[in-house]
Structure 1
Amino acid sequence: MNEEPGLVEAAELFKVLSSASRLGLLRRIEEQSRTVSALAEAMGMSQPLTSQHLRSLRQAGLVKTSRSGKEIVYHLADLHVSHVVADALAHVREPRVAEPGDLIATEERP
């Protein structure tokens, strides 16, 4: 199969982004760079679970870290990350009329 360059990598990226928790973490980090404990509190998740999600995001190159004293602070790797998430959210928030054969349909919202 002759695939377009980057398709496999893009599929892996979307796999990492398939978690609502990870998308939420990216949105919080976009608002402000934060520590694991601040992110866990903002998301209402345990610190170990937050760390696990952040590890996945870091391995995918979506977030970077810096050290502030004894704490590690998480930042978005670049603006592409926020654009991908914002575009996905804008897409799913658009009103959509169901067509025969649709797997997912949303009703128009007032």
Structure 2
Amino acid sequence: MAWVSLFIAGLLEVVWAFSMKQSEGFTRLVPSVITFITVITSFALLSFSMKSLPLGTAYMIWTGIGAVGAFAAGIFFMGEPVTLLRILAAVLIVGGLLLMKLVSA
């Protein structure tokens, strides 16, 4: 259950990062509310997963999912540039996440 909670927490990190960008500095109500709700929920799920997963593993997986997810959201929804080096950086993060999961099992 800890891994499922951690994965959902990571996905919510993507949502709050995206909605924070959409809030335009917390000047738009709906994206701001979504940001606050998803931040709190993401942190709560991360905290729950840390009850049984090592700190370094949980935090790395959580931030990795958030980083790669926000990167993808930026490309698909905000028209951010797709370059070979940016893709390589994301692939390296995913590789690190998979390796961390393997050594933590």
TM over 0.5: no
What range describes the TM-score normalised by the shorter chain of this pair? under 0.3
Query: Considering only CA atoms, is the larger Rg found in Structure 1 or Structure 2?
Result: 1
TM-score by length of 2: 0.27
Q: Which has the larger helix fraction?
A: 2
Normalized per residue, the structure richer in strand is 1
Q: Which has the higher contact order (CA 8 A, sep 6+)?
A: 2
* TM-score (normalizing by structure 1): 0.26
